[in-house]
Amino acid sequence: MERFRITGEPLDERAVGSGLATFEDGAVVVFSGVARGRNRGRQVLHLEYEAYEAMALPVLRGIAAEVRERFGVERLRIHHRVGRVGIGEPSVVVAAAAPHRRSAFEAAQHAMNEIKRIVPIWKREFFEDGEVWVEGPKEPVTG
């Protein structure tokens, strides 16, 4: 199982956390980001993700390095889907394993926050009557 993956294929939520825990781990947290059928009151038909893949992978590795440094969590996997994602399907799955639950939760949550903030991936929502690129935090990232 690759630690970091950007893929056009459906994500196997179940597999991402599987086998991640070692002998000394007592906690596994698996987060799935799922395509919602409704956003800001509008019905969404499907999503489409575009990635700057050559950059997304090293950014994910950087997030993992930071998670290790801040929370001591070494077992982290991040899989992100690109292309068309149907409603109810996962677009991202993050799995973290650690000896205790607090750091596993922190690791998964921090990784997700960072994914939303800096990983060069963009989401487009498709509606009955059009489509829109979703924009995240407007503050430019400067390194």
Partner 1 sequence: MTELARSRGTPLVSVLLFAAAREAAGRGRIEIGYRPGLTAAAVWERLIGEHPELEPFAASISVAVNHRFVPRDTLLDPGDELAFLPPVSGG
Applying CB under 8 A, which of residues 78, 85, 104, 118 lies at the interface with its own copies? 104
Quote the CA–CA distance of 106 and 139 in Å, as a whole number. 24
CB of 49 to partner 1, least distance (A): 7
Q: Which does 138 bind (CB under 5 to 8 A by kind): partner 1, its own copies, none?
A: partner 1
CB of 140 to its own copies, least distance (A): 23
Quote the CA–CA distance of 65 and 62 in Å, as a whole number. 5
Question: What is the per-residue burial (b if ≥16 Cβ within 10 Å, else e) of 15-45?
Answer: ebbeebbeeebebbbbbbbebeeeeeeeebe
Quote the CA–CA distance of 83 and 136 in Å, as a whole number. 18
Please identify, among the stretches 77-85, 100-108, 121-129, 131-139, the one whose residues bind its own copies according to the rule CB under 8 A: 100-108
Applying CB under 8 A, which of residues 40, 54, 69, 130 lies at the interface with partner 1? 54
Applying CB under 8 A, which of residues 9, 87, 120, 127 lies at the interface with partner 1? 120
Beta-carbon contacts of residue 95 (< 8 Å; ≥ 6 apart): 16, 17, 20, 28, 29, 30, 31, 76, 77, 108
Question: Which CB sits closer to its own copies, 32 or 58?
Answer: 32
CB of 129 to partner 1, least distance (A): 18
Please identify, among the stretches 16-24, 38-46, 63-71, 127-135, the one whose residues bind partner 1 according to the rule CB under 8 A: 127-135
